[in-house]
């Protein structure tokens, strides 16, 4: 085979393949340059509120745990779940058989103590008579002095024995009173007016109160007034204050918002997995009795609110054209510096140092601060509007932000204006001096 004969053929094939690839990439038969397209959003009129959110749990303002102070078997139960009870109402009774026998034993011990008092009184009277007789005999010099002294000792001993007997009687009477009091504890009364949230015992069950009082009932004093304990992050707790308005939702009533008022922001911290939170207690009016203890509440604290203002989506504030994009826009649309009749030099538009290609303070992708971070001239921010298909930059002064939209305090922005959030299809600039 003659290799030299195939070399020209291979070269021709390679040239044809390269030319075809070039034609496919360049596509000289297609139409002119791609059109410039703008992604836009609308300015609107409405309300803006700066808010802090947190989660919490609903509970009664006052919850009482009703227990048993004595041990015994439950004989009767007079209250159940969700029952309304009044202060002093009997809600349960325990078996008093053992307690009654303890009262009888204490009474018997008291009777024995009383008998001991009588015996001590008789002994004291006899000792007093003996002492008197021995003194008379000593006066007649009929007995020795030692005999008189023995009579004196016997008298003093009898007197002390009477005092001890009386003390023992007092102790026995106290035991009787204690036994009767324990017997009265067998009847369980409601300590407050309220609603029974839970019942922990049944008839026939034995409760033991040897170490601590077992809980029989949990009673909420008033479910018409409830509270929410929320866990507020340490970054937000400094923005809350007593008396601040709040609103919350619960999963049981989707779409319904309930009002509340901050009663207290507690100083005690709670640390969970290295995250520090503080308890903000919110008072809730529950006159409709829709809310129940234990419900999870999604709470929103309203820090500040403005109504019926022009607001722009923060996506429009994040649009910051690069230097090349601004020059291309200036060449294509003949844009001028805002507030000037003469074409702007490169970088004259945009906020801050955008003209030099550097992002504005705070980062080009960061949303504005709550009060509008200053940028550009006189603390203003650049926004690009789309008017009849032509972009136009305008500077505005910003106000309150809720994280998604920001209030416009000053500037040529009206309700319904189209605001540019992204541009595509721009041709490269020619780098001519005087272009926008």
Model pLDDT, residue 318 = 92
Q: Does residue 153 register a pLDDT over 90?
A: yes
Residue 84 located in a structural domain: yes
46 forms bridges with which residues in the sheet? 309
Indicate the number of domains in the chain: 4
Element housing 387 (H / E) = strand 381-387
pTM here is 0.60
Same domain, 266 and 174: no
Same domain, 81 and 213: yes
Which residue in this structure is represented by tokens 């049981």? 252
Residue 295 belongs to a domain with what CATH number? 2.40.30.170
Model pLDDT, residue 86 = 94
Boundary-marking domain end, from 273, 305, 337 = 305
Percent of the chain with pLDDT over 70: 83
Same domain, 323 and 281: no
What's the pLDDT tens digit per position in 370-405? 333 334 455 789 999 999 888 999 999 999 988 889
Residue 216 belongs to a domain with what CATH number? 2.40.50.100
Longest dimension (CA), the chain: 176
Is the torsion defined by CA of 121, 127, 133, 139 positive or negative?
negative
What's the pLDDT tens digit per position in 46-101? 999 888 999 999 999 999 999 999 999 999 999 999 999 999 999 999 999 999 99
Given a contact cutoff of 8 angstroms between Cβ atoms, the answer to whether 401 and 362 are in contact is no
Residue 273 located in a structural domain: yes
Q: Does residue 324 register a pLDDT over 90?
A: no
Mean local confidence (pLDDT), 23-50: 76
Residue 6 located in a structural domain: no
Quickly count helices (H) and strands (E) in the chain.
Answer: 6, 19
Residue 234 located in a structural domain: yes
Same domain, 326 and 420: yes
Same domain, 355 and 412: yes
Boundary-marking domain end, from 267, 287, 305 = 305
Boundary-marking domain end, from 169, 201, 221 = 221
What's the pLDDT tens digit per position in 265-315? 999 999 999 999 999 999 999 999 999 999 999 999 988 889 999 999 999
**Integer angstrom CA distances of residue 219 from 2, 12, 83, 397, 416:** 108, 98, 9, 56, 56
Which residue in this structure is represented by tokens 């029989």? 216
Range of the domain at 334: 310-424
Same domain, 234 and 217: no
Which residue in this structure is represented by tokens 């541009």? 423
């Amino acid at each position: 085979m003659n290799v030299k004969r195939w070399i020209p053929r291979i070269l021709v094939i390679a040239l044809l393949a390269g030319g075809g690839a070039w034609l496919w990439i360049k596509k000289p038969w297609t139409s002119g340059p791609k059109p410039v397209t703008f992604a836009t959003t609308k300015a609107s009129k409405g309300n803006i509120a700066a808010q802090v959110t947190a989660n919490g749990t609903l509970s009664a303002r006052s919850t009482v745990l009703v227990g048993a102070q004595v041990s015994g078997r439950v004989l009767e139960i007079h209250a159940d779940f969700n029952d309304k009870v009044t202060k002093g109402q009997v809600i349960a009774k325990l078996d008093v058989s053992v307690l009654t026998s303890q009262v009888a034993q204490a009474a018997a011990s008291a009777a024995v103590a009383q008998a001991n008092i009588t015996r001590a009184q008789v002994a004291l009277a006899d000792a007093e008579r003996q002492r008197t007789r021995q003194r008379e005999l000593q006066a007649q010099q009929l007995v020795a002095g030692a005999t008189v002294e023995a009579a004196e000792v016997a008298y003093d001993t009898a007197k002390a024995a009477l005092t001890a007997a009386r003390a023992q009687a007092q102790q026995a009477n106290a035991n009787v009173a204690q036994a009767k009091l324990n017997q009265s504890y067998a009847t369980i009364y409601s300590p407050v007016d309220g609603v029974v949230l839970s019942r922990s015992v049944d008839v026939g069950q034995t409760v033991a109160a040897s170490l601590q009082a077992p809980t029989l009932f949990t009673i909420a004093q008033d479910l018409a007034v409830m509270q929410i304990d929320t866990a507020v992050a340490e970054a937000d707790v400094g923005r809350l204050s007593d008396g601040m308005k709040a609103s919350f939702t619960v999963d049981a009533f989707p779409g319904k918002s309930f009002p509340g008022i901050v009663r207290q922001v507690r100083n005690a911290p709670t640390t969970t997995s290295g995250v520090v939170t503080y308890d903000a207690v919110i008072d809730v009016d529950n006159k409709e009795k829709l809310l129940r203890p234990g419900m999870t509440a999604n709470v929103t604290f309203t820090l500040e609110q403005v109504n019926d203002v022009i607001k722009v989506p923060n996506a429009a504030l994040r649009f910051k054209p690069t230097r090349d994009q601004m020059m291309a826009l200036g060449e294509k649309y003949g844009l001028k510096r805002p507030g000037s009749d003469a074409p702007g030099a490169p970088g004259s538009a945009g906020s801050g140092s955008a003209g030099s290609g550097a992002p504005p303070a705070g980062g080009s992708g960061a949303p504005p601060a709550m009060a509008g971070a200053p940028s550009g001239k006189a603390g203003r921010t650049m926004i690009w509007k789309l008017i009849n298909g032509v972009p136009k930059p305008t500077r505005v002064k910003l106000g309150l932000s809720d994280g998604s939209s920001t209030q416009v305090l000053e500037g040529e922005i009206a309700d319904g204006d189209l605001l540019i959030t992204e541009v595509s299809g721009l041709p490269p600039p020619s780098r001519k001096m005087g272009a926008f």
